Amino acid sequence: MESVKGISSEKEFAIRKGLYLAGLEGVVCDYYNNHAQDYEEYSTITGRTVGALELAKAVARTNPDKDATILDVCAGTGLAGEQLKKLGYTKVDALDFSQAMLDLAKSKNIYRNYICDSVQLHKNNQIDDGAYNILCMNGGMLPGHITPDMLPEFTRITKHGGSIVFNITEASLKCYPGFSEEVVENALNSFVADGSWTSWTKVTANYFGKTGEQCIIYTAIVS
């Protein structure tokens, strides 16, 4: 895995390894709460802002209305929120299960509301059915974070005809046992088959600006 200037290879490796192990062990929230500032530094220096920008551009392609209501799931320190704001979106809320990450995002004055909770298999009682035109998620689809079996909850809180836009790094699709592009896309096909979604599409884009690592951006339209 290529290192980048401005962050030591040891520190970069430690952050990536920490996230990987936390995902396997189911303690990701603890990791983020304890390493929020390190993660913010790592994301900036490695160029994760590129992935966030590509995601925001995908949101704009699916819904150019700047008054659209958006929920940024796994918002973290606000990388995607910052890019959405630059594109003119003003009605964006943040959801993340790490209060420390949300506190960093709040200091940037990006979002309308900050929701410290998760979108898991249970119904999130803080969010009404059909509350948002768009749900977006930058880098959150991987084990220990969000997995495809949680997408029905995304669908519940998205308006009919609204969009779900998320990306997955190619590294995530390769390194986690039982998690692959085929597994993800079989799940997406099942949501079309059962009538939850009308369709989904995908494009490949850059994610880490400094290393050139790629991601796949998925866009689904809710029935």
Buried/exposed code over 14-25 (b: 16+ C-beta within 10 A; e: otherwise): ebeebbbebbee
Does the pLDDT value for residue 193 go beyond 60? yes
Contacts of 23 (CB under 8 A, 6+ apart): 142, 143, 144, 145, 176
- On whether residue 3 sits in a domain, the answer given is no
Band (30; pLDDT cuts 50, 70, 90)? low
Average pLDDT score over residue span 32-41: 66
Find all residues with CB under 8 Å of 166, minimum gap 6, and list them: 55, 73, 135, 136, 137, 138, 140, 141, 217, 218
CA-based nearest residue to 74, from 172, 183, 180, 201? 172
Does residue 4 belong to any structural domain of this protein?
no
Please give the average per-residue pLDDT across 76-103, as a whole number.
94
The strand pairing partners of 73, in sequence order, are 95, 137
Average pLDDT over residues 93-105: 92
Range of the domain at 21: 9-222
Mean pLDDT of 193-197: 98
Within-domain flag for 144: yes
Structure tokens at 18: 């920490």
Does residue 15 carry a pLDDT above 70?
no
Helices then strands, counting H and E runs in the chain, come out as: 8, 7
The answer to whether residue 187 is domain-embedded is yes
Q: Measured at the alpha carbon of residue 214, what is the angle toward residues 75 and 57, in degrees to the nearest 5?
A: 55
Please report the beta strands in the chain, taking only residues with DSSP state E, as ranges in sequence order: 70-73, 92-96, 114-116, 132-137, 158-169, 197-208, 213-222
**183 inside domain:** yes
Number of domains in the chain: 1
Is the predicted pLDDT of residue 207 greater than 80, yes or no? yes
pLDDT band at 1 (very low <50, low <70, confident <90, very high): very low
Average confidence (pLDDT) over 24-50: 65
Checking if the pLDDT of 8 tops 60, the result is: no
> Residue 126's CB: how many other CB atoms inside 10 A?
12
What CATH number is attached to the domain comprising 186?
3.40.50.150
Q: Strand 70-73's sheet: what is its strand order?
A: 114-116, 92-96, 70-73, 132-137, 158-169, 213-222, 197-208
Q: How confident is residue 122, by pLDDT bands cut at 50, 70 and 90?
A: low
Q: Residue 2 falls within a domain, yes or no?
A: no
Banded model confidence at residue 213, pLDDT cuts 50, 70, 90: confident
Threshold 0.75, pTM exceeds: yes
Residue with tokens 């990006």: 110
Residue with more model confidence, 118 or 33: 118
Which amino acid, residue 101?
M
Instruction: Judge whether 79 lies within some domain.
Output: yes
**209 in any annotated domain:** yes
pLDDT at 23: 45
